[in-house]
Amino acid sequence: MSFNRTLWRLTGRQIGHEARALMNAGQAGSNFWAPVINLAREPRWGRNIEVPGEDPYLVGEYAEAFVTGMERAPEDGGAHIQASACCKHYAANSMEHATEGGQTHTRHDFSATISRRDLVDS
């Protein structure tokens, strides 16, 4: 992932345009679960390709540019939301499915204990 804020904004804008077209055609709602802003902390996690990186600053800049592009239609100066972005997952919410010590956990039953340092770092 590069620090190309223009590209991030334009990517969000295109997705917003397509989302608005689907909404106008009655084929979608107005809320979209995008972008994914998990931090890529574990290289074995199979979904790292979906996230901007491991640097909290980079991820924050990416989220701001992507959401701005997705929500603000340039045709009306951003006066109306063209599609509503809902960032996924914030902090400490990337558990999918894991087995450790013979015990299986999923995101529906796992309660993470996060140190203050890890929470602030993220």
Instruction: Please list the pLDDT of the chain residue by residue as tens digits (122 residues).
Output: 578 999 999 999 999 999 999 999 999 999 999 998 888 877 887 888 888 888 889 999 999 999 999 999 888 888 889 999 999 876 666 666 778 888 888 877 777 778 888 777 76
User: Please, which residues have CB within 8 angstroms of residue 42's CB and are 6 or more apart in sequence?
Assistant: none
β-bridge pairing 31-32 and 84-85: parallel
Three-state DSSP at 65 gives helix
CA distance 95 to 98: 8
Give φ, ψ of 14 to 5 degrees.
-65, -45
Name the helix (H) or strand (E) containing 60.
helix 56-71
Structure tokens at 76: 């009306």
